[in-house]
Amino acid sequence: MKKQLLTVAIMASSAGMAQNKMTPEMLWSLNRLSANTLSADGKNVYFSSKKYDIKTEKGNNTQYIANIASGKKIKLISVAGKNVFQQSETEWYANDDNYIYRSTDEGTSWSNVRSIIKDADNMKISPDGKYIAYNKEILVSPTLGKDIYKDLSKSTAQIYTDLNYRHWDKWSDGKFSHLFIEPIKGGTAKDLLQDMPYDCPQKPSGGSEDFVWSPNSDALVYVCKKKFGKEYAQSTNSGLYLYTLEDGSTQNLTEGMMGYDMNPAYSKDGKFLAFTSMKTDGFEADKNDIVVMDMATKYKRNFTAHWDETIGSFLWGRNSNEIYFTAPWKGTEQLFSVMIPNNLMAKTPPLINQITDGNFDINGIVGETKNELIVTRTDWNHAAEIYAANKEGGAMRAITHENDALYSMIKTSKIAKRYIKTTDGKEMFAWVIYPPDFNPAKKYPTLLYCQGGPQGALSQFYSFRWNFQLMAAQGYIVIAPNRRGMPGWGVKWNADISKDWGGQPMDDYLSAIDDISKEKYVDKGRLGCVGASYGGYSVFMLAGIHNNRFKTFISHCGLFDLKSWYGTTEELWFANWDIGGNYWSKNSPASYSKFNPSNFVDKWNTPIMVIQGGLDYRVPIEQGQQAFQAAQLKGLKSKFLFFPNENHWILHAQNAIVWQREFFKWLDETLK
């Protein structure tokens, strides 16, 4: 196959006003759209748009209604003075002034239903309006000195006797997120997890999607990993639990299902419960399937088991006979559907239908009208907007235009597909992003982008940090290969990276940079390599094996030494599966010798910038410190960019601007 596929997916520069190029400040001035739900008649979509003030680092979130047919929008909730926390097709609930309000006319009028429950989060009202479910933090297992010794209130001691003593960016304080149900009018609250050291929603990032009311309000299904300590830290076996209001009983709906079971959703008629499920305990990037359960018989059927891809998000169709879902697909994320028979035991094999196809990502499904699905969509030149996708042919039209004004003033990047032969004879896909004024007669510095995950889809996402539009606007070509470990190319391709981190995936990266370097417009004397998380690990690894290909490296929150990382990271199931286990066992995994970046520091000979968050407990601070110290002691040009108040991400606006400025300053110093 021809490698010079510049003709595919080229985003032409806008004419006329489009004279500017994207900058970090412009990137952070964009509106960030989140879609909520559709109106009862399916004519309108409700969404919020958040805009950040860089000086105050605060986001102003405004809610709107947009007509699906015309795209006309009006500002909504700010007029009513209510903050909507739940919308259904017939009812809205909002909080304001320490009270909960209800509206049945889409926000025109409101009635007070009760005062706000103290410290409650993720409130959900039952469909019949009689009960409220919510979660809040409960002290279950005292670990702070001041909680154990009541007479020592100023103590800062933390006392642990088991693992999972910190997670993501927080140390355990002995509190757990418990799920409660109580009458909306007030009364006795029922703690569904009682005094157990379990969380619902799941930490660190679970939310209201972790519990769902039954359509007739008689039960609640919730997600929980009922494990603690070392067992919790080494397992992904979450379950779905059915709590019945009438008798207060709890039933494990996924007994014997050993991996992640998540995202429960009832069909509109209440007959079925669908959820996403992985088979393997400890493998967090296992194939994700859609399983449907008949709630009367509890019979379960996997509707995507035969499909050689993994599932993202999903939505029940209005007629309860079809499920729409998103999934990684050939370097993008697309929209699919699968029919659900009335009898789950029917012999007919499930038929999966692809609805959309193109150089964009479908990020989420908002709702369904008669002929269209309302979705959010991004590509590498555009942040999220709401689109309508025809259910039959996938034709799409934009409903919202939150950032059109800014985009009309900047030149966009050219995006191309490229296929590369790997060292083991496979064909690997890569995206290539070109500067807005790309001229093939000129020579350009080029960046190899290393994706994190390691099993993360490298698709048409729009990032406010790793933004390829911004990189290209500064005059860089970016090549982003779908190396081993990427979903969207079959289950085996996705799984092959486990226990082979520094093997074939590194060869895939080198194949990508060698292939693009054959082009006359690539300056082979100005090649850089950048990435975060596993991508940061890849940068450290490539720094020792690149054989002088690269002139600069940038690693954000990368794993530098696998032994010290295993001793300090929190989710050990990930390390056990992908690395192969601990380093002290008799037959310790080969990863600690063959694929450990710190073992190759003697070959480092290239400038390197190391970025690290102080609150990153997934890839803790010693990883960045060790890498920087090694580079300094070897006499290499190096820089340590440290953010004490950031975790695995960069979440503060001004820190994000510093990140971008330092990123491009380093590239200017080492590549231009």
- Domain end position, chosen among 48, 82, 116: 116
Output the pTM of the full model.
0.94
Query: DSSP assignment, residue 174?
Result: S
- pLDDT tens digits for range 656-665: 999 999 999 9
Q: Which two tokens stand for residue 358?
A: 């193109």
Question: How many CA atoms within 13 Å lie on the side-chain side of 109?
Answer: 3
Could you tell me if residue 384 is inside a domain?
Answer: no
Percent of all residues in the chain with a pLDDT value above 90, rounded to a whole number: 89
Give the pLDDT of residue 77: 56
Instruction: For residue 23, give the amino acid letter.
Output: T
User: Which of the four pLDDT bands, split at 50, 70 and 90, describes residue 92?
Assistant: confident
Contact 114, 120 (CB under 8 A): no
Express each pLDDT in 355-382 by its tens digit.
999 999 999 999 999 999 999 999 999 9
pLDDT of the residue at 62: 87
Task: Tell me whether residue 546 is one of the annotated catalytic residues.
Answer: no
| Per-residue pLDDT, 102 | 92
User: Is 616 known to be catalytic?
Assistant: yes
Q: What's residue 5's pLDDT?
A: 38
Catalytic residue among 289, 379, 508, 616: 616
Q: Is residue 654 part of a domain?
A: yes
* Rounded-to-integer distance, Cα 219 and Cα 206, Å: 20
Question: Does a structural domain hold residue 125?
Answer: no
Exactly one of 382, 546, 556, 648 is catalytic; which is it?
648
Choose, from 238, 533, 591, 638, the residue flagged as catalytic: 533
Query: Residue 507's domain is classified under what CATH number?
Result: 3.40.50.1820
pLDDT band at 647 (very low <50, low <70, confident <90, very high): very high
- What the block records as the tokens of 372 is 């269209």
Percent with pLDDT over 70 in the chain = 96
- Domain hosting 83: range is 36-116
Q: Is residue 217 part of a domain?
A: no
Answer yes or no: are the C-beta atoms of 479 and 432 closer than 8 Å.
yes
Number of domains in the chain: 2
Residue 329 lies in a domain: no
Total residue length of the chain = 672
Residue 563 within any structural domain of the chain: yes
Dihedral angle of Cα 485, 210, 121, 236, to the nearest 10 degrees = -50
Domain boundary among 95, 116, 137: 116
**How many C-beta atoms surround the C-beta of residue 37 within 10 A?**
18
Average pLDDT value for residue range 238-243? 98
Report the largest interatomic distance among the alpha carbons of the chain, rounded to a whole angstrom.
Answer: 76
How does residue 9 score in pLDDT terms, banded at 50, 70 and 90? very low
Q: What is the pLDDT of residue 79?
A: 47
Last residue of a domain, one of 68, 100, 116: 116
Report if residue 336 sits inside a domain.
no
pLDDT at residue 666 tops 90: yes
Position 630 in a domain? yes
For 109-150, what is each residue's pLDDT tens digit?
889 999 999 999 999 999 999 999 999 999 999 999 999 999
Q: H-helix or E-strand containing 536?
A: helix 534-545
Residue 648 falls in the annotated catalytic set? yes
**Integer Cα distance of 449 and 513 in angstroms:** 10
Lowest mean pLDDT of 53-62, 98-107, 569-578, name the range: 98-107
